[in-house]
Amino acid sequence: MSFWSFKVWKLLHFPLNSLGCKCVAVVFVVALVVLRGILLQDGLSRVDVNGGMYSDYGIRGDRFLEVPQIVWGLNNQKIAFARACLTARMLNRTLLMPRLSASLFYKELDQLQSIGFDKVFQFRKFNSLCSGFVRLGRYSQVLNQTNVLELQKGSGRKWTSVRDFDQLKEFSGDSSDRYQVIRVIGKNPFLWHDHWPVKDYARVFECLVLVDQFAKEADRVISKIRAIGREAMSVEQGEGRNGGRNGDSAKLDYVPYMAVHMRIEKDWMIHCKKLEQRSNISEICSSKEEITQRVGNIKEVNKPTVLYLAVADNLLEDKTILSGWQQGLLPFEKKKLGVAHIYDKYPYLIKSAIDYEVCLRADVFVGNSFSTFSSLIVLERTQKMNRMGVSSSCNNSMRWPSYAYNIMGDFGGPRKWLTNMSDTSLQAISYGSNHVTC
131-175 pLDDT tens trace? 999 999 999 999 888 899 999 998 888 999 999 999 999 998 888
CA distance 420 to 438: 10
325-341 average pLDDT score: 93
The region of weakest confidence among 60-74, 129-143, 177-191, 246-260 is 246-260
- In order of 59, 147, 313, 414, the CA distances from 143 in angstroms are 18, 9, 46, 55
Of 143, 155, 144, residue with least CA distance to 185: 155
Of 82, 99, 91, residue with least CA distance to 207: 82
Q: Please name the residues in contact with 366: beta carbons below 8 A apart, sequence gap of 6 or more.
A: 258, 259, 260, 261, 291, 295, 298, 402, 403, 404, 405, 414
- Name the CA dihedral angle for 334, 339, 341, 347, rounded to a multiple of 10 degrees: -60
Residue 293 is predicted with a pLDDT of 95
352-381 average pLDDT score: 96
Residue 148 is predicted with a pLDDT of 94
- In order of 20, 203, 236, the CA distances from 27 in angstroms are 11, 43, 74
Kindly provide the b/e burial profile for residues 162-200, where b requires at least 16 CB atoms within 10 angstroms of the residue's own CB. eebeebbeebbeeebbebbbbbbeeebbbbbbbbbbbeb
CB 93 within 8 A of CB 63: yes
Q: Which residue has the higher pLDDT, 417 or 6?
A: 417
**Whether residue 21 has pLDDT greater than 70:** no
CB 186 within 8 A of CB 152: yes
Of 57, 68, 59, residue with least CA distance to 86: 59
Residue 55 is predicted with a pLDDT of 37
Q: Is 305 left (phi over 0), alpha (psi -120 to 50) or beta?
A: beta
CB 134 within 8 A of CB 59: yes
Sign of CA dihedral 398, 399, 403, 409: positive
pLDDT band with cut points at 50, 70 and 90 for residue 106 = low
pLDDT band with cut points at 50, 70 and 90 for residue 430 = confident
350-356 average pLDDT score: 96
CB 218 within 8 A of CB 358: yes
Query: What are 216-251's pLDDT values in tens digits?
Result: 999 999 999 999 988 887 876 665 445 444 445 545
Helical pair 348-360 and 74-90, crossing angle rounded to 10 deg: 90
The region of weakest confidence among 2-16, 270-284, 317-331, 366-380 is 2-16
Rg of the Cα atoms in the chain: 27
CA distance 266 to 287: 11
Q: Please name the residues in contact with 356: beta carbons below 8 A apart, sequence gap of 6 or more.
A: 74, 75, 373, 376, 377
Which residues does residue 101 pair with via DSSP β-bridges, in sequence order? 114
CA distance 307 to 97: 37
CA distance 198 to 192: 15
Residue 41 is predicted with a pLDDT of 38
The region of weakest confidence among 86-95, 280-289, 347-356, 370-379 is 280-289
Residue 248 is predicted with a pLDDT of 53
Residue 144 is predicted with a pLDDT of 86
Q: Is 100 helix (H, G, I), strand (E, B) or coil?
A: strand
**Mean pLDDT (the chain, rounded):** 83
**Whether residue 43 has pLDDT greater than 60:** no
Residue 44 is predicted with a pLDDT of 34
Sign of CA dihedral 122, 123, 129, 133: positive
Using omega within 30 degrees of 0 as the cis cutoff, is the peptide bond preceding 414 cis? no
The region of weakest confidence among 69-83, 107-121, 157-171, 342-356 is 107-121
**pTM greater than the 0.75 cutoff:** yes
